[in-house]
Structure 1
Amino acid sequence: MNVIGGRVLVPRSAVQRIQAMILDGTLKPGDRLPAQRELSEQFGISRASLREALSVLETLGLVRVEVGRGVFVLGPDEDGAPQAKWRFADRYSPLEVYETRLMLEPRSAALAARNAKAEDLATIGQSVARMRTAVEAGDLIAVAECDSIFHRAIVECSGNRMVMELFRTVNGVMDEIQRLPFIHHERIWETVSEHEAIVAALNGRDEARAAGAMAGHIRGAAGRIGIELREDSKN
């Protein structure tokens, strides 16, 4: 079993297979998933890994985990937000993570506008195009993956080795915080539009606009889960 920093890595195939069963109608809204023992045997993974996969699906608003009752598929109009869990509560609050992102990512975007190579910008742009396709297909797992690739690529393009190392150290936290707003499925297009604004600024090599677009995106993402980041800084 692969472990980083004491946390079990989420088996991507299990997450994708459960989502596929929801999308193709095998699992319908209100259905209860099979018992965890049965699912773990079916997917060939440990129950700990399965619980991690179910937690990702719950964060994305695809299922609801009810202690003592089981795991239930959510319908497209159901609000899974009250059941979404922040798995790093013993370390940081979501507010603290968003505040940290607001301190670091706008500057990283500005540096990326200055330092990124043409092929790097193409990769960032492609991640947004793939995200748009994934949203249209209702593939929330791919949406979340594209989101992570987008933000990670911008930090890497900043050229600041300390910031790059910091983000790698808390990669799991960043992936989780970026997934939280996607529980509101009807608002995912806002993320796509914000990413496109950042890409336009990067392609234009406009450092100030890139920083502003990234700051706006982070505030928007925080707002989608009810966190207000005051505009009391230079970002």
Structure 2
Amino acid sequence: MMRPTRIPEKLAKDLEQLLQDGVWRPGDQLPGERDLASRFGVSRSSVREALRILELHGWVDIRQGDGTRVAYPSESFGRRLRSRLHEEDFIAELFEVRRILEPAVAELAAERSDAKGIQRLEELLSLQQSSTTDLYRFVELDLDFHKTLAELSQNAVLSEIVVLLAAELRQTRLTATAKRFRPQSTLAEHRKILEAIRASNPEAARKAMLAHLNTVERSAKTKEVGR
């Protein structure tokens, strides 16, 4: 059964169409959240989530204090990735990149995380545990878990790359038929990563992340859903 389209997703598609139509050009600043919410009859939180989707897809650039601007083509790496996500060999290469980068991210997080960072990860896993019947919400929280790990590495370049790759691969999972959605397995793997970070054990964190990514890749190849 196809899930109903959520308001932020629909709004993101509507805004993307306007961008494709040239209503806003590269470098233009988009209207503020309040204005967009009024124009489209949605909440400001829906606007924020829609803009986040557009940013992950490379359509806009969101900067603190400068609002949201239309990205230039040269900045739209996410769009170039997205255009090739139907290619099995290309997806395999993206997973190869993740297997190189994300275990290193987990290692750094184990070395550099503080109590506050560990608490953020615990809260995300708690939210995931309560979202095991909602595929979309579960995968969104999964992305947040990987994003938070990247942030805890305290390496801004690694963080940006990891978030982009995870987000784009997420799209292939959401569009696949959810034949074998196994949230408890994903949660167990996430907990192993968290426990290694809590123990300040970089090697265990690296191994736990690599095992998780191997599971994710197998799942993607068999069109299972749920990272």
Aligned residue type for 2:187:
V
TM-score by length of 2: 0.57
**Change beyond 3 A, Cα 1:169–1:134:** closer
The aligned counterpart of 1:95 is 92
The aligned counterpart of 2:17 is none
Q: How does 1:206-217 map to 2 (within 5 A)?
A: 206-217=201-212
The aligned counterpart of 2:198 is 203
Distance 1:218 1:89 in 2: 18
Distance 2:83 2:201 in 1: 36
Contact residue 147 and residue 178 of structure 1 kept, 8 A: no
The aligned counterpart of 2:156 is 161
Would you say 1:123 and 2:120 are equivalent positions?
Answer: yes
Contact residue 181 and residue 224 of structure 1 kept, 8 A: no
**Change beyond 3 A, Cα 1:156–1:180:** farther
The aligned counterpart of 2:61 is none
**Change beyond 3 A, Cα 1:196–1:169:** closer
Question: Could you say what secondary structure the match of 2:221 adopts?
Answer: coil
Runs of 4+ displaced beyond 6 Å: none
Bigger shift: 92-101 or 201-210? 92-101
Cα deviation, residue 98, structure 1: 0.9
1:189 is aligned, of 180, 184, 190, to 184
Aligned residue type for 1:188:
P
**Change beyond 3 A, Cα 1:15–1:139:** farther
2:143 is aligned, of 131, 143, 148, to 148
Distance 2:118 2:173 in 1: 21
Distance 1:104 1:180 in 2: 25
Name stretches of at least 5 consecutive residues in structure 2 with no aligned partner.
11-39, 43-49, 54-81, 223-227
Percent identity between matched residues is: 23
The aligned counterpart of 1:76 is none
1:223 is aligned, of 214, 218, 221, to 218
TM-score by length of 1: 0.55
Distance 1:104 1:184 in 2: 29
**Change beyond 3 A, Cα 1:170–1:99:** closer
Would you say 1:176 and 2:174 are equivalent positions?
Answer: no
Question: Could you say what secondary structure the match of 1:167 adopts?
Answer: helix
Cα deviation, residue 15, structure 1: 5.5
1:13 is aligned, of 7, 11, 25, to 7
The aligned counterpart of 2:67 is none
Aligned CA RMSD, in angstroms, stands at 3.2
The aligned counterpart of 1:111 is 108
Distance 2:205 2:170 in 1: 21
**Change beyond 3 A, Cα 1:154–1:188:** same
Distance 1:98 1:180 in 2: 18
Q: Deviations over 1:55-80 (max 9, x none)?
A: x9xxxxxxxxxxxxxxxxxxxxxxxx
